[in-house]
Amino acid sequence: MILKFLRLFKIIRVTLRYGIDEIAISGLKVPRTARLIETLLFWRDLSAPRGERLRKALEDLGPIFVKLGQVLSTRRDLMPPDIADELAKLQDRVPSFDPDLAIAQITKSLGAHPDTLFASFERVPVASASIAQVHFATLKDGREVAVKVLRPGMKETIDKDVALMQVAAGWLEALWADGKRLKAKEVVGEFDKYLHDELDLMREAANGSQLRRNFQNSDLLLVPEMYWDYCSSSVIVMERMNGIPISQIDKLQAAGVDLAKLSRDGVTIFFTQIFRDGFFHADMHPGNILVSTDPATFGRYIALDFGIVGTLNDFDKDYLSQNFLAFFQRDYKRVAEAHIESGWAPKDTRVDELEAAVRACCEPIFDRPLKDISFGQVLLRLFQTSRRFNVEVQPQLVLLQKTLLNIEGLGRQLDPELDLWKTAKPYLERWMNEQVGWRGLIDKLKAEAPRYSHIFPQLPRLAHQALSRAGEQNNSNEMLAALLSEQRSTNTLLKVIIYFGGGLFAGVIAAQLLLHFYFIG
């Protein structure tokens, strides 16, 4: 309890130091409270931009809050652009933990000491992040590997900090006018799930294995092999990859790498993941990408760290391709219709109003040469326009937009003349052809062929059963009709008997009364 209180005190102190409260002051639902806070904290220097102050505060609060900032930077549908841009600069600058703790974690998870498991194990880590750190090792058969070890005690730390974030999110929604729109509690809940997913390294290993399989025969991307006999939820062992970090452009040029081709290849890889596989690496920042210098694979991308991946179904891919193509054909009405048809915009949304809003934010883009148009910015403008019309932005598309911005920025850093549209257009057109044209029909028939092979031999029996049931149904219908006819006849006869009997009874009574009065009279 004392530790929790001290942690809360530190959060409040850092918040006041960097003026994070000032970001929300202008939107407080109680203006007098806002003025009081400004008066009491007059001594602070808040001259730095609000996004920069927020970034520094999160860095001071530690790795969990840094991760929160990274997640918030992807929610450009919720965050103001200046804050999202600044949070995108956050990196995991986390000191490594004691190698003895890593060795203990490996021993506990894999059931043997690293000296027993490996021919050699480097105690000094080569990389360290907020969730895990990496050591190099060599298997007994001589294969070089990278060993990723989860930080000890991460689950408890995450649970405590997320609980405090939930409290802060409740205050934010209660006090800030924009708190409800920013969905603070929802964002913290999403962050909680994201962190706990990352705590399971087996999930990351499975993601990497899937991506490797998707690009098994590709000459564009290399993905390390996972050694499953050495993997658990807190330790994974994978093939060691050697290359130059993609951010070190001088070294790439000195090695003779064709940067223009590398730039185009990056775009090709991304759109292949989207429109062919529907499964994409969603954390492709420069720290997770190397370029191979091995003669056999020279110039290929190397992907690392598969804790965050995105998936798209056929509906998502169709939505994206239609929107991208409609944007670049300036068919804003089709963009509006696609949003309403998808159910992401309310059904009562007027197409002409949404069309006008999309036109207003996107038309200025086309005043520049096509190669200068930013895919990421187009998607970002789409999200910003969506807010006004209560469009529900899907989480997988937010993740896609964040990844697309990373890829686009990286591509243009490698080659400022990169024409992203020219590179991506063939994939969009191919996807539409596969979905709508004859090729798409043939592919779908091929995909369904195994099911048809089981169904076709059963068709005669199924047809006979259907006809038998129909015959039984017809017989039942005839019997029911006969019963109804018989019932109607019976009802008619009963009516006659009742009317006749009633009349006879009434006549007898009347005769008795007449005779009675006659003899008495």
Instruction: Give the catalytic positions in this structure.
Output: 283
> Could you write out the DSSP letters of every residue in 148-192?
EEEPTTHHHHHHHHHHHHHHHHHHHHHHBTTHHHHTHHHHHHHHH
The residues near 280 (Cβ < 8 Å, ≥ 6 apart) are 270, 273, 274, 309, 310, 311, 312, 400, 403
The answer to whether 465 is annotated as binding is: no
What is the C-alpha to C-alpha distance for residues 308 and 318, in angstroms, rounded to an integer? 23
Helix (H, G, I), strand (E, B) or coil at 142: coil
DSSP class of residue 95? P
The answer to whether 223 is annotated as binding is: no
The answer to whether 132 is annotated as binding is: yes
* φ/ψ bin of 310: left (φ > 0), alpha (ψ from -120 to 50), beta (otherwise): beta
How would you label 437-473 residue by residue, b for 16+ Cβ within 10 Å and e otherwise?
A: eeeeeeeeeeeeeeeeeeeeeeeeeeeeeeeeeeeee
The answer to whether 128 is annotated as binding is: yes
The answer to whether 64 is annotated as binding is: no
DSSP class of residue 44? -
Give the relative orientation of helices 50-61 and 2-17 as an angle to the nearest 10 degrees.
Answer: 160
- Are 203 and 252 a contacting pair, CB within 8 Å? no
**Which residues of 435-498 form beta strands (DSSP E)?**
none
From the list 267, 279, 308, 289, the residue with the least C-alpha distance to 214 is 279
* Secondary structure element (H or E) that encloses residue 281, with its range: strand 279-281
The answer to whether 155 is annotated as binding is: no
- Are 231 and 237 a contacting pair, CB within 8 Å? yes
The answer to whether 130 is annotated as binding is: yes
The answer to whether 485 is annotated as binding is: no
What is the C-alpha to C-alpha distance for residues 385 and 300, in angstroms, rounded to an integer? 38
The answer to whether 129 is annotated as binding is: yes
**Bind-site residues for ATP:** 126-134, 148
Binding residue numbers: 126-134, 148
